[in-house]
Every structure is written in structure tokens, then in C-alpha cells.
Amino acid sequence: KTFSSAANKTPQAKTAHIPPPLHRLPACIPSMGSTGTGNNMLQLSVAPMMEVTTRHQRYFMRLLSRRSILYTEMVVDQTVHYNKDKLDRWYGHHESEHPLVLQLGGKCESMIPAAAKLGEEWGFDEINLNVGCPSKTVSKHEFGARLMLKPDLVRNLVTNMQEQVSVPVTVKCRLGVDSFDDYSFVHDFVSSLPECDHFIIHARKCLLNGLSTKDNRTIPPLQYEKVYKLCEDFPDKKFTINGGLTSVEQVKKVLEDGPNLHGVMIGRAAYNDPCFMTKLEYSILGETWCVDLTRRQVIEQYRDYCRKVYETGYVNPLHLIKPINNLLFGIAHAKTFKRILNPQDTRHTPETLLAAFDTILADIPETILDIPIVDTVHHHEMPC
């Protein structure tokens, strides 16, 4: 089973009010079995993040990264079960977002596969089961990372989903939970899921009691070596590594130390510095389509997308601003950029938001907006 590049599997009736494609990308997004210009064996992906990887953020990210696999926010099985007439809110997406993964959370052996089946009907290329979220709310309801303590249930959820869908079913998990943190724990967990051939692993354990969700992303130490060991012990399975990767140099080091890794997943760094994904495509995957991509081009395309969104109905401007807010991360005029997008004395209307994009394009210097995002002079090393 491989990713499907057929973005048109999404039922037309259910997505009629999604903005029509502005920039057709499927031909430029290789399916996982096709050839490209870089490392075609490596998967680069953006982690599912609550209140971050919305449909607007995913569209924006696709402007910066053609090869990355994108994920939805975690969608809870009960949410789907009780809102089948409103699924566009969680399942709706633009065709350019493919390859696109639906992440599901929950523990119900009937609701999870039903939600997965609907996901395939809506055109998702893959279904991922969240077995790593350390949120107190999620843990209270006995799913997320707490499921790692119930491998038999996880196996049932995975196999039940596989019976309902033809697309791949994967698992995203941690290395351990609370005191269950030695290598044998995660080894046994992987062993308990023979039907699953791809694990996305956040390379640290989580503490369900005493740490917030945010702290669980940073305080438990990273243990990349355990993921490398899983690659060696389970050569017939695929492992994608996640956690703490914020620079091209770090990613290169991880791939050097873990040559058997199937993929690399980027989390908060993709939100804090979205251009990071463009740089990874060039430096890690060897893609050359992005060498001339500028921030001006991205702003213009995203502005056009926002205009199309507003033609279909009202959307809170803040939901459209959030994805692009950090486009100038780490370079001059970032504060000016954010100030125009986020005025202190008023709240944007659709008209003023579109006007704000025009102001940015006129007022931010060409030396910022028209310089290619990828620095080919200082990132000239051979791709991994």
C-alpha cells in the first residue's frame, strides 16, 4: 500500500464549498513510489498539531513544500460519530494538500474504524492512529499515549481499521509512558502490532502525571538511539523519527546516525519557521523546484487563496493569519510583517485582511520579499 496521488477521491458533494484549486500541485507532488530529483526513499512530513495543522495551514504549507506529507489535527472518533452531518469541518481539505494523512484519536473499536472508512471516502491517502498524545484531557478519556499501556486494544483498533480501508494505517507513538520507559517496552509494543508496518515515533517518553502537554514536548530527554535500534531490530518495518528537530544540520545528523530511517517528521519548527520545510526539501531531499521561490510569491498565492475562501463564506481572519504569521521568522522586518497582519487597535474584516497583504507587498523591502528562501550559496552541500 502506498500513497495515492489521486486527489480527486474526495466526494464532490461534500467538498463543494472548499475553494477551487488555485495552483494545481498533484503533478508536482510525487506519489511515494515515483521518482523525483532527491532522496526518494525518505519521507519528510509535518506533524499533526492541534489548532495548528488546520486546512488553511496545510494549504499554506503546501506552497512552501511540495514533497512533505501533511497531517490533519487529531480528530476524535466520538466527534466524527456524533457529527456526521458536519464532517467538512474536520475532513474538508483542498486537493493541493495531498499527500494528506487523517490522524484519528480514540479507543472505541467500532467508532475508530468507522471514522477511518469515512476518511478514505473523503479522499485521505492514509489513516494514522494517535497513540502518543500526552494531553491530560486525552489521557483522562483513556486514549492517546495511554493506549501504549494497552497494546492488545491498539492492535484491535489497527486491524479493525485495516478491514475497513484500503489505504495504509499507521501508528504514531512515544518511546514510553511514565515509568515504562526502557527499550524493551517500546520493542514489545512494536512487536505486538505485526499488522502495522509504519510507526512514527516521537523520540522521547511522556509523563502523564505532572507535566503539561507543552512540557512533554521538551522536558523528557530525546533518545534518538532507541529509534535507530528499532530500525535494526525490525528491518521489515518503517520508522519515522519525530521530536526536537529544528535545523537542517540536526536532520542531516539524525539521518547519518540512523541510515535505516524511513522518514523524518518536523513538529513545532514547521510552525515557528515555515520556510524551514522549504530548506529541508532543498538540502535533504535535493529538490530544485524551490531554488527561486520567494516570500513574495508565497504571500501572493496565499492572498489569492484567502480571497477564494471568502468567496465561499465567512472565516475568522485570525484562522487565516495564523499559518502565515511566521513567514519572516528570523529575518529583518518580521515585526513589521506581524504588525500589519495583527493590528492592535482593530480586528480584521475580510476586506482589511486582503488589504493588509497588499500593504505588506508594497511596504516590506524587495531585499526581503524577493530574495529566494533557499540560500543555495550556503546550503550547497550534496543532499543526503
Structural domain boundaries in the chain? 43-285, 295-370
Cα–Cα distance list, 242 to 33, 222, 330 (Å): 22, 10, 23
Which pLDDT belongs to residue 210? 84
Mean per-residue pLDDT of the chain: 90
Judged against a pLDDT cut of 90, whether residue 270 lies above it is answered with yes
Q: What band does 40 get if pLDDT is binned at 50, 70 and 90? A: low
Take residue 75 and report the three cell numbers written for it: 480528530
Whole-model pTM: value is: 0.89
* Whole-angstrom distance, CA of residue 81 vs CA of residue 374: 44
Weakest-pLDDT range from 32-41, 120-129, 177-186, 374-383: 32-41
Q: Are 71 and 46 in contact (CB under 8 A)?
A: yes
Judged against a pLDDT cut of 60, whether residue 26 lies above it is answered with no
Q: Are 279 and 379 in contact (CB under 8 A)?
A: yes
Q: What band does 39 get if pLDDT is binned at 50, 70 and 90? A: low
What is the dotted CATH code of the domain comprising 295-370?
1.20.120
Judged against a pLDDT cut of 60, whether residue 12 lies above it is answered with no
312-353 pLDDT, tens digit each: 999 999 999 999 999 999 999 999 999 999 998 788 999 999
* Whole-angstrom distance, CA of residue 45 vs CA of residue 47: 6
* Whole-angstrom distance, CA of residue 224 vs CA of residue 243: 9
* Whole-angstrom distance, CA of residue 73 vs CA of residue 52: 7
* Whole-angstrom distance, CA of residue 183 vs CA of residue 21: 46
Greater model confidence, 30 or 322: 322
Judged against a pLDDT cut of 60, whether residue 14 lies above it is answered with no
Judged against a pLDDT cut of 60, whether residue 4 lies above it is answered with no
Cell 484549486 belongs to which residue? 21
b/e string for 75-93 if b means 16 or more Cβ within 10 A? bbbbbbbeeeeebeebbbb
Question: How large is the C-alpha radius of gyration of the chain?
Answer: 20
Which pLDDT belongs to residue 376? 81
What is the dotted CATH code of the domain comprising 43-285?
3.20.20.70
- Kindly list the catalytic residues: 133
Judged against a pLDDT cut of 90, whether residue 118 lies above it is answered with yes
Which of 192, 170, 173 has its CA nearest to residue 181?
Answer: 173
Q: Label the pairing between strands 126-131 and 70-76.
A: unpaired
b/e string for 95-134 if b means 16 or more Cβ within 10 A? bbbbbbbbbbbbbbeebbbbbbebbbebbbbbbbbbbbbb
Which of 30, 47, 28 has its CA nearest to residue 39?
Answer: 30
Q: Are 142 and 105 in contact (CB under 8 A)?
A: no
Q: Are 127 and 168 in contact (CB under 8 A)?
A: yes
Give the whole-number percent of the chain exceeding pLDDT 70: 88
* Whole-angstrom distance, CA of residue 330 vs CA of residue 350: 28
User: Which secondary-structure segment (H or E) carries 187?
Assistant: helix 183-191
Which pLDDT belongs to residue 73? 99
Judged against a pLDDT cut of 60, whether residue 274 lies above it is answered with yes
Which pLDDT belongs to residue 17? 30
Q: What band does 384 get if pLDDT is binned at 50, 70 and 90? A: very low
Judged against a pLDDT cut of 70, whether residue 251 lies above it is answered with yes
Which pLDDT belongs to residue 379? 53
